[in-house]
Structure 1
Amino acid sequence: MGTEVGIAVTVVYSAQTRDVVEETLRLEEGTTVEQALNASGLALPTPAEGVPLGGQGVWGKKVGLTHVLHDQDRLEVYRPLTVDPKVARRERFAGQGAKKAAGLFAKRRDGAKAGY
């Protein structure tokens, strides 16, 4: 049984919702995030195309392009946010309504104000 040299890194990118591309790469020790992205061959948008990336991270923790990868790392390429999370939450809340018996307000104490 031969041993493989280097590290195994999985690169994950989703250009749109429910469309995930995942590729496992065999790279040399000391490979940076930028080198791994270039080696991945994924069709990642570039700032020159006018489509900015939302950044990148390893196992959900944001890292820079110079971060050195380790064996079994999962390199995730993020899309930019299209909606501010606070705005999205407010819109969901407005749709549920504080006076309706839905979501967070399905259970209310007798005599309690709406939303409590």
Structure 2
Amino acid sequence: MVEIEVVYAAEDRQVLLAVLVPSGTSLRAAVQASGIAAQFQQLTLADCPLGIFGKVVADADARAVQPGDRIEIYRPLLVDPKEVRRLRAVKAAMAKQRNS
């Protein structure tokens, strides 16, 4: 058995679960076995990106858990950060133009 942690942070709360899974279990299978989805009704584990200690794992269905892994479940971005920066720059340029 391998001891891991599964972490999810919603907008209003965070949950960290310690879980024992069989050696060779994939990241996605370990997250599903943790039961964390029962605490977050909006969470769809089949297509959520997963990572370990802040680094996204490309194929969570193929990578096996390692002892001590902290598997993080990532939420989709609501707004593209590049678009937010672009809009902020446009707004600043317009404000500068009005003040000139």
Between Structure 1 and Structure 2, which shows a larger proportion of helix residues?
A: 2
Q: CA RMSD in A?
A: 2.5
Superposed CA offset, 1:68-100 (max 9, x none): 1101101001111100010122344456x3688
Unaligned segments of structure 1, at least 5 residues: 1-5, 101-116
Superposed CA offset, 1:33-58 (max 9, x none): 1220121101252389xxx63x1111
Identical amino acids, percent of aligned pairs: 37
The number of aligned residues is 89
**Aligned 8 A contact 2:5 2:70 in 1:** yes
Q: TM-score scaled to structure 1, two decimals?
A: 0.63
Of structures 1 and 2, the larger Rg is shown by: 1
- Structure 1 stretches of at least 4 aligned residues deviating more than 6 Å after TM superposition: none
Unaligned segments of structure 2, at least 5 residues: none
Q: Which residue of 1 aligns with 2:21?
A: 27
Higher relative contact order (CA 8 A, sep 6+): 2
Q: Which residue of 2 aligns with 1:89?
A: 85
Q: TM-score scaled to structure 2, two decimals?
A: 0.71
